[in-house]
């Protein structure tokens, strides 16, 4: 199963944030979209990703003044990305070993979607269920 299959079911719409947005506004965006991370985009290009984890770690280190800081100050700039042709199982292993939960999908350098570890787990479960049903049908004749 490929990432394109996941996006076909999930959809490719992605909420994003700019680097000049405040952390307080970022928290509102995360809550309103019910997501744990947002890609940071500037001029149509992915320049980072910012997650709840980034906020919590920086809040712990620097206190409440962080809420007035800019997303660009706390985002992760070395972003692991994938393409629609990448294998779900391979990416799930990478996300697990590197301990991150959100993976932007790029096509020709442009953001084309985002997948979470939950999306990948769901896709794998759906695939296993489909295979199980096919085997049952084959056995039952």
pLDDT in tens, the chain (141 residues): 999 999 999 988 999 999 999 999 999 999 999 999 999 999 989 999 999 999 999 998 888 889 999 999 999 999 999 999 999 999 999 999 999 999 999 999 899 999 999 999 998 888 888 888 888 888 987
Q: What is the pTM of this model?
A: 0.87
CB 119 within 8 A of CB 22: no
The Cα 75–Cα 48 span in angstroms is: 6
For every residue of 25-50, DSSP letters joined together read HHHHHHHHHT-SEEEEEETTEEEEEE
Give yes or no for a contact between 79 and 41, defined as CB atoms under 8 angstroms apart. no
């Amino acid at each position: 199963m490929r990432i394109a299959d996941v996006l076909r079911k999930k959809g490719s719409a992605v909420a994003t944030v700019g680097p000049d947005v405040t952390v307080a506004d970022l928290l509102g965006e995360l809550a309103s979209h019910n997501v744990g991370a947002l890609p940071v985009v500037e001029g149509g290009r992915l320049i980072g990703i910012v997650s709840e984890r980034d906020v919590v770690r920086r809040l712990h280190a620097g206190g409440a003044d962080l809420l007035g800081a800019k997303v660009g100050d706390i985002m992760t700039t070395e972003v692991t990305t994938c393409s629609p042709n990448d294998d779900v199982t391979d990416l799930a292993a990478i996300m697990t070993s590197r301990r991150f939960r959100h993976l932007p999908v790029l096509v020709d350098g442009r953001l084309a979607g985002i997948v979470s570890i939950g999306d990948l787990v769901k896709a794998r479960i759906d695939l296993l269920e489909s295979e199980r049903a096919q085997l049952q049908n084959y056995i039952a004749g």
